[in-house]
Amino acid sequence: MKKIYTCFVCGFPFAVEESECPEHCPSCNSTKEYFLEEPWRGDIRLRRIHVDPPLPDPDRDPYDISYHAPKDFPPHSMHGRVRRFVFPYDDLEETKDFFEKSMDWDIIPTKHSDAQRPLLFCATGPGNDNWEPSVPSFIYGYLKPREKFETEKLPTFIVEVDNIEETLVKTVEFGGKVLKERFFEEENQYAIIEDSEGNVMYIWQTPDDVDWTRPETQYLSRRPEKK
């Protein structure tokens, strides 16, 4: 029987078959004795049990490696979150075979892809129906035709930002470079920057219609507003 488990220590919810329930929380590594459980009702968003996550401790010993709440990031902001990776490919079938068969990734063409040289979406682990990870510790990514790749520097990651133009200004202000101004791909807004050390990354402006009921945003959406 499938159940929803919520960790009492960190507040993380996840759904698995009862027989496959892990011995430790996927988020904070607490033992299963701290799991609260409830029946699966078809969608993790329908769960009844909610546990407030611990608040950050500004006086925490930086050498204490036990579980602790992350930095007190602004509520309802995804700014600065590493969201995706982007790898280039030359041979479509060879690349798909490599990652599907050696890494067991689930790879599909994106919505508006060129049939011959598609942009491929890579699910690198278990996820929800909105193609977001259902457990922490991994990210999804893209395989992009090399001739459409904007930079020769690798690896490349996608970092979410609240406002592209403001981030581009700060990039230059703090020693980085703007390699490509705002552009659109797959109906999303991107730009490409280089940090002060020469590392390249895409920045992606989080869409205005972000749904804060998504499982991966539950931690942020439950945190109290700052006074």
Q: What is the residue-level pLDDT of the chain in tens, covering all 227 positions?
A: 999 999 999 899 999 999 999 999 988 889 999 999 999 999 998 999 999 888 888 888 878 877 777 777 666 677 888 889 999 999 999 999 999 998 899 999 998 889 899 999 999 988 877 777 877 778 899 999 999 988 888 878 999 898 999 999 999 999 999 999 999 988 889 999 999 888 899 999 988 766 555 555 544 433 444 33
**Beta-carbon neighbour count of residue 139 at 10 Å?**
17
User: Amino acid identity, residue 75?
Assistant: P
Give me the CATH code for the 82-205 domain, please.
3.10.180.10
Identify whether the C-beta of residue 131 lies closer than 8 Å to the C-beta of residue 140. yes
Q: What is the pTM of this model?
A: 0.62
d(CA 163, CA 84): 18
What pLDDT was estimated at residue 208?
Answer: 74
CA angle (47, 133, 16) in 5-degree steps: 50
Identify whether the C-beta of residue 160 lies closer than 8 Å to the C-beta of residue 81. yes
Per-domain residue ranges for the chain? Answer: 1-61+71-79, 82-205
Which residues are registered as beta bridge partners of 38?
Answer: 4
Q: What token pair was written down for 146?
A: 């090399």
What pLDDT was estimated at residue 76?
Answer: 65
Residue tagged 């804060």 (tokens): 212
Identify whether the C-beta of residue 35 lies closer than 8 Å to the C-beta of residue 26. no
Among 35, 68, 43, 64, smallest CA distance to 54 is for 68
d(CA 162, CA 91): 35
**Residues sharing a CB contact under 8 Å with residue 152, sequence separation 6 or more, in sequence order:** none
